[in-house]
Structure 1
């Protein structure tokens, strides 16, 4: 039973998204939603993110939408790798992040210090896979980026534990786009 899911994936710039109203965001959120609904049917209770821009904050928005639609048992935790991760972000991104934190059910940091060095990200990845049952990752091995490190940590964990890894890749998104276009044509 998957009670705790980690959701992560690409940051917006890694996939060429520079505005939250980019049409691609709709499809990424739809893919996240489809996976989350399946996990909810298997007993999902918590979604944990580290609060990174992009996939993680879009996932938080999907969690809030699902809560409004009746999945009241679903909760969101934001566990950052270190304190004040948003310090150098643009003002609009800080506001987006703050709006997510304001609605989260749990907020904490793995390292209770500001950024020092990359080991804090490795520690966060290890903590996340050890404390969860499943990883849902927007990641395509054809296009490496920051999700690669969490994916590799999860794969190593999976070798010794019953741990599920679900990925959303660019092919999955293309299928979603085509399905929606076919629905639109049928109407």
Structure 2
């Protein structure tokens, strides 16, 4: 699988309102571990959207991972051209940074938001142009990523489409691993 769609929770759905939130550290740790697995299995394109949260954290990680995996490319797609223009400045800046660091950036629809069909069209486009997904989502903790999870399930009925899920249980395991690593570093450091 060379083109992987990475998506998941928005930052506010996780109660994350500051970049220094410890949850961001754990989420990035977990994402990085899963992305390295994908890279070692042949991923060369990380494809994501511009939503604050998992998508923009994944874009940051792609840039970081390029140092050790120069074959990795980052593509950022948004559902329409005016995407994010009404956000707070800090989130607009994060999206602008992802755009500037991406190897490819595009909107799936011209113009501003016109209706839900753009979001569905965006999902269809991404599903048809990727080989699988890394989804940070848990059915027990609903969020907007439920729509992506449902779209992936529908798509899997028509074509093989592996979805690597990071649910709350897996995130807790990564949090434990991260804490062990920090404690070991303090002990040995």
Indicate whether the TM-score tops 0.5: yes
Quick one: distance in 2 between partners of 1:180 and 1:109? 36
Quick one: distance in 1 between partners of 2:84 and 2:162? 30
1:40 offset after TM fit, Å?
Answer: 0.8
Give the TM-score normalised by structure 2: 0.94
In the other structure, the counterpart of 1:135 is 133
In the other structure, the counterpart of 2:8 is 9
In the other structure, the counterpart of 1:46 is 45
- Count matched residues: 185
Which segment drifts farther, 171-180 or 58-67?
171-180
Deviation by residue 1:77-136 (Cα, 9 ceiling, x = unmatched): 111100121110111111111111111000111111210111111111111111111111
Quick one: distance in 2 between partners of 1:15 and 1:185? 25
Alignment of 1:61 onto 2:60: yes
What is the RMSD computed on CA atoms of the aligned residues?
1.1
Q: Structure 2: any 5+ residue segments left out of the alignment?
A: none
Give the TM-score normalised by structure 1: 0.95
1:160 offset after TM fit, Å?
Answer: 2.1
Alignment of 1:73 onto 2:67: no
Deviation by residue 1:109-168 (Cα, 9 ceiling, x = unmatched): 111121011111111111111111111111000011111111111111112212100111
In the other structure, the counterpart of 2:148 is 150
Alignment of 1:161 onto 2:159: yes
1:184 offset after TM fit, Å?
Answer: 3.5
In the other structure, the counterpart of 1:100 is 98
Deviation by residue 1:43-63 (Cα, 9 ceiling, x = unmatched): 111011121111100000110
Quick one: distance in 1 between partners of 2:33 and 2:181? 16
